[in-house]
Structure formats: structure tokens, C-alpha cells
A and B are shown apart, each in its own frame.
Chain A
């Protein structure tokens, strides 16, 4: 052994001492090492995929075409002005091959159809990841040095939102998420600045709390704070996960801080002798007034019925005091000047009916277990501290507590937050979407001292919100302005003068949009004055009815006086006119019978209008568009003429097809439609 070892060592020594042999040996080793570099290049991942692709298409029927389209080597989409260098197609070889749409396994699947060309924006603009990379690991998963890992496909709509700030057809998740950000009041606390310079505005209308003692009791506030969802499943108020003591203290402060507002409370109606008939009459008044257009209630089956513009009323009787409700129903703007609720002009007996009906909607169990001791000074002081700490004034107006600025972190660029800057919980996936989802689902799981409340979102809503948040990227700010598609910005239009005051008290714009401001529940009235005739409008305001056979009427009757109706009609007819044409340019009647007959034939044969509209209800079966039985008494002739010529110009987004009618055809049809004045189908069944 010993001799062997020394023999080996001495032979090594001899070898080292011979410089020529040593030099030769080292050179061979160096040469071998040097071959590693070209070998690594030759056996690179993308070359492997390209070889695999050629084998794969060889077995297909369209092999010849596919092979002709194939170019070897590194492929890239290069868009200098967008800072895009995407080499994804080096491995995803068949991305642009429509015939590979049936392929299931990546990386050879064809790209699904999208509204943009693949070369228009490249890949990473939407999918994220590192475009310059040519290995899967680097391209899909790298997050060093600010690179973004690939975006899971279920959030892909967020990428559309980087340029498209308007509601976008084909991106429902993104649209729902954005609506939710505004509707659940996220943007009260978190500022979201948009690239065009505005900020996202909340649409949830949180009530002011400065006079809350007039409206409800401390017990109700306590129970509501503990769990808003137990009062109303549709509550937009989140759960702050308060302890019993904290909820008691906040309710004590809010009641003690409340000052009575003169006129907030009217003597409640005395208990009616005949409760049953009173309740029936109240129910029918509730129905006639179309309260359900905005307010939902739960029916016996547990389903919500009604709109979501106002709060759910299922248990409202347990919440509001009858005296307050009375005053509210008479004039809601007295208590809350910002309310979207219109002022119904109910008579006193009607007021009593509706109040006692609404007060009857109550859940006796809700407050059954709430027993609060009278509030002490210390409790009230602690309640105020909590109100400031939890940022209640970010949403609600509370006397003596100013609205905090930037209460929560700004989210304008949250979609580009580097993963290295996030703190993850144990066991969580280390990605930005996973972080956002957990933050929305269980905000306090990141630390018990955090103030963000918990919402009752389902998995779908959380995905929607995450999609909307992921669209708020650095890139959306740095992209050229020419690529930005801004949202239609809400104007601050308010009608002026006496009619303006009237429309403000009726809150017309809660449902109707006028000159870019208002709701979308009812038709846009910006050009209503060009469209309708005075007599019809006056009559409609007196007794509204639906124009479409398949829609439920939602316009309430407001008990307007004759003078008020005249003011409104005058204003609408004078002010809301389109500059496109003169509404009196064509006569309302007196068209020659041949022209009417010609129009009738065009209506029934050439343009097939009866597929959607009805002129004679006995014959026609069109249930989609408005009824035209009285259209000659409703619309102006010039409006009909121009509407037929180009419907979308007068009512953007209408489904009425643009038939590119000649003037003659449009004139004949106008004559025929203007003849429909009494609903008997004049000229229709000749």
C-alpha cells in the first residue's frame, strides 16, 4: 500500500516536472472546457422546442403549409416605441397558425382570437413575464430585478384595462371589478388615480351620520356595526370585526355626537284602526310608486326582488324611527342633500300609508339580544378615538371628525408592485394576484392591528376585484397617450333655474342621464326636447307608462301640480334639443295618402320593421322595440326622419339597425309613422 501510494505520488511529481507533457495536458482540458459554450448554445431549450415542433407537425395533415411557415432561429416581436422585445415565439412556434387551434399542449397551441394582432403589442404587454428571455424558467417565473412573473390566464382581462378605461365588451371580469371598486367604496380610503388625470369615484353613497340619532337607535347601530350582513345581505358596509365593547363605544359616540335637525322628525302616524286594509293599501302604494325600481326586499322564498340603487328594505322597520321616516318620505333632501331618492309629492294620508307599510318590514330577532347600558363619558371618548382610528369619516360625514386624507395606501399602480416588496403569509403562493386575493378575502390575516375591514365577497367577486386592481400598472401610465382609451367622464351638469330646482328635488338624474351626468336606468334625456311632442310629454308626466311591451314600467308618478308640469315640459322642450336638425322642420300631420301607403309597404316589406315593433297589435308580433301604435302622437316628424337615417347618431348604443335609408324611403316611413296617432293602426291594414 505504502509503496503504491508513494509510487503514484512520485509519478505525478514526475509528470508535473515535465513542462511539455504538462502543457499538452492542460491544453486538452482547456479545449474540452471551451466546447461547453457552443454545446450549451446548441442544446438550448428553444432549439429543442423547435425540433420538437418540426417532429410534431410532421404527423399532421397540414404539415406542408406549417413547414413552409416555419422559420428557425430566435423569433422576436420588436416594438421600440412600446419598449417590447418579446422572444416568446422562439418556443411558441405555432402561435400565429390558425390551424393549430385544436392543439391542447403548450408551447405549440395557436393563440385564441383577440381583437388585436399579435404583432401589434407583443406578448408581455398582456401576459407579463420576461420577453427577452429564451428559457422557460426565466421567461415565465423570473422575478429578480423587478421582472414580473407570467400572469395567470384567469386575470388576463386586467391587461386590457391598461389602455381601456371605459367599460369594455369582452372583458366582463374587469368591468365588474371596476364597478365593485366604486360600489363597495374601496376608493373612499384608497386613492386610485387614472392615467388621464382624474381619480376613480365611489358610487356607494354612504349616509351622513351627523344627525343619526333622529333616524335610528343606539341598539341598531351596535348590531349593524357588529355584522352589517346580518341586517341586510346586500349591505355595502363591510365588517370591521369590532369587539362588543368597541361596537358599544362607537355607537355611544355616534348617538352622543348627533345633533337634532329641525324638521327631521314629524309626529308618527297613529296606529290605524283597520291594520289589514291599511297594509294592503300601503303595499299597493309601494307598488304604484315603483319603490322597487331602486330598493330591493327579500320575498318569502328568500330571493331579493328590486333594484340596487337604494338600500335593501327587508328589515328597515327595525332600523328607522317612524317620525324620521315620515319626514324623510316627505322630503329626503332635508336629511341628506346628496341622496338620490326623489321627493315624491305624497299627500298626508298617502304618507301615513307608506310609512306604516315600510315600518312593518321588520325582523324582530335582529335586536332581540342587544341590551346596552347607558353610555358613560369614557365610552363616548373612546368611541370617538375608534371612529378616527378606523377612518369612518373617509366614507361618512360625521360632525367634528374631519375626512382623513390618504387614509389607506394609494392603489394607482398596485398592479406593478414587485413581488419582493410584498410580505406573504406562510403557505401562500408568492405571486401578486395571490396576495391581492388574500388581502381582499381576509385583510386582517396579515396582522390583527390592520384596520381594513372584511367584506362578504364570494370567490367570483374577489377574482373580479383582483383583475381590476391588476390593471392599475406602471405601464398604463407610461404608454403613449394615443393608445389610451379614456372612460367617458361624468360631467357635473345640473339643470338651471326653477325647472332645475324642480328636477333636483325629483332627482331625475338618479335614473336619467342628461348631458353626460346621471344614472343609466332610464333613457338619456339630453335631446328629449327634439324627440317628443308637448302634449305627449305633459301627459306622460301626469301618468307615466312604459313604451316597450316587454319591460316593466319603472318611472314613478310624482303627483306634480299643473304648474310644475308646465315648467318641466317648457324646460325640456326648450333646452334639451339636438343641434343636428330643427324639430319643427316637418309637419306633424297632413301627409298625402300615397306617401303613407308607400311608407306602409316599406315598413312591412323592405325594412321588415314589424319584426321588432308593433303598429297594429292585432297583426304585428314585434316585442323588442317600443310600441309604435301611438308614435305619431308621441314623436316629432323630423326626429323620426333623422332617427331612421342614422339611429346611433341620435341615441348612441341603440340596437336599432342603421339601414342607410335613402331620403325618400325615410320620408315615406316618417309619413306612415306620423299617421299612427290613435292606436288603431291607421294605414296598417289597408
Chain B
């Protein structure tokens, strides 16, 4: 006897509207499951098939997924913060103070954004260490490693540009020092600094530029590179497993580590 919920779902899945959206139809075959993944715009980035063992905590420590989770958290809290914040010199600092003292749960919102940002930088590094020490950057995954490095740079730049936005003394001097460092680049250093600040000093123009970088340009590039990053995981043969590498089979025989893991 099927439950009423199961019956209702079954009926829903048979409607025309449902079938026009989810075109894979009903079925539980392997091919069918593969179609579900392949025909969704969101899911098709991911591998159609994954080794079950690779989904366990021990395989990846979920570091990449957690980095993505903090990124999504940052997007959500960041959009909410944008509702309260004006990127203008007279208002920026008082807006932050308002968030801290008057907006309901504003301090929570701001701290969530801040701690997520710290966590994302930490997790991105941890993810890269793990990939590096497991050797997962080797061909055919070398391009995805480069994409990962670009994503790390974007993460750091997001962190840096967000630092100016509270417009307090800490922010002001941090950006002054940071842009002075960029002016040490040979030949074009001063041009880079001028481009970043929109002038020669940290001022209203710099605040606006950093705001646009932080809220529009850098997040969009991050999304773009993330898409490439995930898609390449699938194209490069899914998550890295040592046994799948040429010559790894012999190595596996001598190693007892994997054996001990199995029940």
C-alpha cells in the first residue's frame, strides 16, 4: 500500500507541466539516473557517476564543497548587507555603525559575512594543500589546478577589497599600505595603484572602485571560474582516485593503508 504522499508525488510527476520541465521521465535505471544529471543545467557540471567511496568524509574532507558553501553564504549575506550600505565617504562608516547598533540582527549578519570570509580563505588553502599533497594536480588535471590558483587569487582579492568597505582607520591604512605595495611593481606599479584607487589617495573614488570590485566584478569572475572548475572535474575523470592512475595498481598492492580502511 503506497503512502498518500507517494501517490500524490506520483500523480504530480505524470502531469504535463512536470514532464515539460524534467524531461528525463520516470525510471530507476543507471542510464536514467545519468540522464537526470545530464539534462539539468545545474547538475550537468558534475560527474554523472561517482565512486561511492569518494563521497565519504575521509576521501576529500569535503574541503572543496565547504569552500563553495562559504562562498554561497557570503553571496547571501553580502546581498543582505548591500541593502544597508552606501559606498560613500560620509555614509559608509555610519552605515556600518547602524548595522552594528540598530539594525535587527545586523551585527549577526555582518559577523556571519566576516567569519565566512575568513573561513573561505582558510578552506581554499586547505583544499589546495590537500590536492597538492595527494598529487591530484597531475595530468590530466593540470589545467584545473591552474583554474584553482586563479580562484584562490580571486578569493584573496575579494577579501582585500571587502576590507576597505567599513571605512574605518584600520581599513584606510590597510588599503594605503596595500596599494603602496602594488606601486612597487616595476614599470607599471604606479599605474596599477592609480587604477585601483581612481586617484593618488585613498578617497571617495577608491571606496567606489573597491565596492564595485567587491560586489560585482570579483564575484562574477569567481562564479565563472567556479563553473569551469566544476565542469573540468567531470571532464578530467571525476574526483581523483589513486587506483585510477596508470601504475597505481601495483602501488596499491604493496600499500596496506587502503585495505585497513575497508571493513
- Give residues in A with beta carbon < 8 Å to B: 16, 36-38, 40-41, 74, 83, 85, 87, 130, 132-135, 138, 144-146
Q: Of the candidates A87, A132, A145, which one forms a contact with B168 in the assembled complex, judged by CB atoms under 8 Å apart?
A: A145
The answer to whether B108 and A133 touch across the interface, beta carbons within 8 angstroms, is no
The answer to whether A37 and B101 touch across the interface, beta carbons within 8 angstroms, is no
Instruction: Let me know if B249 is at the binding interface, CB within 8 A.
Output: no
Distance in Å: Cβ of A292 to nearest Cβ of chain B? 57
Distance in Å: Cβ of A82 to nearest Cβ of chain B? 12
The answer to whether A132 and B105 touch across the interface, beta carbons within 8 angstroms, is no
The answer to whether B102 and A74 touch across the interface, beta carbons within 8 angstroms, is yes
The answer to whether B168 and A37 touch across the interface, beta carbons within 8 angstroms, is no
Q: Across the interface, which residues of B come within 8 angstroms of A134, CB to CB?
A: 101-102
Cα–Cα distance between A36 and B109 once the two chains are bound (Å):
12
Cα–Cα distance between A87 and B102 once the two chains are bound (Å):
9
Q: Across the interface, which residues of A come within 8 angstroms of B105, CB to CB?
A: 37-38, 40-41
Q: Which of B103-122 contact A (CB under 8 A)?
A: 104-105, 107-108
The answer to whether A138 and B169 touch across the interface, beta carbons within 8 angstroms, is no
Q: Which of B97, B98, B100, B105 has the most CB of A within 10 A?
A: B97
Q: Of the candidates B90, B107, B169, which one forms a contact with A144 in the assembled complex, judged by CB atoms under 8 Å apart?
A: B169
Instruction: Let me know if B38 is at the binding interface, CB within 8 A.
Output: no
Cα–Cα distance between A36 and B108 once the two chains are bound (Å):
9
Q: What are 18 pairs between A and B in contact, CB < 8 Å? A: A37-B105, A37-B108, A38-B105, A41-B105, A74-B102, A85-B94, A87-B101, A87-B102, A132-B97, A132-B102, A133-B97, A133-B100, A134-B101, A138-B101, A144-B168, A145-B169, A145-B170, A146-B168
Interface size class of B (residues with CB under 8 A): 10 to 19
Cα–Cα distance between A85 and B100 once the two chains are bound (Å):
14
* Secondary structure type dominating chain B contacts: helix
The answer to whether A133 and B104 touch across the interface, beta carbons within 8 angstroms, is no
Cα–Cα distance between A594 and B191 once the two chains are bound (Å):
95
Q: Which B residue's beta carbon lies closest to that of A135?
A: B101
- Give residues in B with beta carbon < 8 Å to A: 57, 90, 93-94, 97-98, 100-102, 104-105, 107-108, 168-170
Q: Which A residue's beta carbon lies closest to that of B172?
A: A145
Q: Which of B93, B100, B101, B107 has the most CB of A within 10 A?
A: B101
Q: Across the interface, which residues of B come within 8 angstroms of A41, CB to CB?
A: 104-105
Return the 8 tightest CB-CB contacts between A and B, nearest first: A37-B108, A145-B168, A132-B97, A37-B105, A134-B101, A145-B169, A133-B101, A74-B102
Q: Across the interface, which residues of B come within 8 angstroms of A145, CB to CB?
A: 93, 168-170
Cα–Cα distance between A87 and B90 once the two chains are bound (Å):
18
Q: Across the interface, which residues of A come within 8 angstroms of B107, CB to CB?
A: 40
Q: Which A residue's beta carbon lies closest to that of B57?
A: A16
Cα–Cα distance between A16 and B56 once the two chains are bound (Å):
10
Q: Across the interface, which residues of B come within 8 angstroms of A83, CB to CB?
A: 90
**New A-B pairs, 9, CB < 8 Å, besides A87-B101, A133-B101:** A36-B108, A37-B105, A38-B104, A38-B105, A40-B105, A41-B104, A130-B97, A132-B94, A132-B102
Cα–Cα distance between A37 and B93 once the two chains are bound (Å):
22
Q: Given that A37-B108, A40-B108, A132-B94 are contacting pairs, would A146 and B101 also be in contact in the complex, using a CB cutoff of 8 Å?
A: no
Q: Which B residue's beta carbon lies closest to that of A74?
A: B102
Cα–Cα distance between A138 and B90 once the two chains are bound (Å):
20
Q: Across the interface, which residues of A come within 8 angstroms of B97, CB to CB?
A: 130, 132-133
Q: Across the interface, which residues of B come within 8 angstroms of A144, CB to CB?
A: 168-169
Distance in Å: Cβ of A478 to nearest Cβ of chain B? 12
Q: Across the interface, which residues of B come within 8 angstroms of A130, CB to CB?
A: 97
Cα–Cα distance between A133 and B93 once the two chains are bound (Å):
12
Q: Across the interface, which residues of A come within 8 angstroms of B108, CB to CB?
A: 36-37, 40
Cα–Cα distance between A144 and B166 once the two chains are bound (Å):
13
Cα–Cα distance between A132 and B168 once the two chains are bound (Å):
14
The answer to whether A132 and B104 touch across the interface, beta carbons within 8 angstroms, is no
Distance in Å: Cβ of B69 to nearest Cβ of chain A? 12
Q: Which B residue's beta carbon lies closest to that of A19?
A: B55
Q: Which B residue's beta carbon lies closest to that of A146?
A: B169
Distance in Å: Cβ of A543 to nearest Cβ of chain B? 68
Cα–Cα distance between A344 and B40 once the two chains are bound (Å):
109
